Every structure is written in C-alpha cells, then in structure tokens.
Amino acid sequence: GAVVSQHPSRVICKSGTSVKIECRSLDFQATTMFWYRQFPKKSLMLMATSNEGSKATYEQGVEKDKFLINHASLTLSTLTVTSAHPEDSSFYICSASNPRGPNSNQPQHFGDGTRLSIL
C-alpha cells in the first residue's frame, strides 16, 4: 500500500484562490519531504525541500511567498499556492524518504500527485 498520501488529487478553482496540498508519510517519520512541479510530458522540477521544524529550502527561481511550505510534524508537509493564477496550473507531487532505512538504497516514496487547474 501507499506509504505517502497526498491530498487532494485534483483541484479546480478560480484565479486568486489559495490552495493547500497535503503530503503525509504513513509508515514512517519523514524529517525531510520534497515538493515537485511537473508540466505535461516533462521532468519533475524540484521546487523545495521541506524540513520538519525549520524553514523550507527553496530552489532557485521558486517564489517563497507564492509557494508556502509548512512541515509542522514528522508526518505532514503542506504546500500552499497563494493567490493562484492560471500559470500556476500544473501537476504537483511530493515525496519522502525513510531516514531510518539501513542504507542509501531506499527510494523516494511519492504521493499520487495533485492536478491543479486555475480558471
């Protein structure tokens, strides 16, 4: 079964709305989670690294005030797209790795993604 749960799976809303996406690790405590954005038929673009109990680390070119990340607990990270506009429409996907894996061959576990459509 899924070890990372992401909700909602699909959002359609009006321009100017803020949208919150949740990413939960189900079977382990994730001190670090990652948020990606993906355009159709394109690669995953890392937006930010979500760190439990501290500020997120954003990749170059990603607006911190636009994409708010909160990692308030060891099992939950949220991404809020503030004042969303049509250009924010995309597929957003989160991932987490189990830090207690015995070695580095543990893959990232991905949520099922959120399709965001801003009208």
The residue (of 77 and 95) whose beta carbon lies closer to another protein is: 95
State the nearest-atom distance from the C-beta of 15 to another protein, in Å: 23
Q: Give, in degrees to the nearest 5, the angle at Cα 84 between 95 and 49.
A: 25
Judged by beta carbon, residue 37 or residue 81, the one nearer another protein is 37
Is residue 60 involved in binding another protein (CB under 8 A)? no
Binding of another protein by 112 (CB under 8 A): yes
Residue from 15, 18, 29, 108 binding another protein (CB under 8 A): 108
Closest CB to another protein among residues 48, 81: 48
CA atoms within a 13 Å half-sphere pointing along the CA-CB vector of 33:
34
Q: By CB under 8 A, tell whether 64 contacts another protein.
A: no
Give the interface size with another protein as a residue count (CB under 8 A): 27
Residues that bind another protein (CB under 8 A): 31-32, 34, 41-44, 46, 49, 91, 93, 95, 97-99, 101, 103-110, 112-113, 115
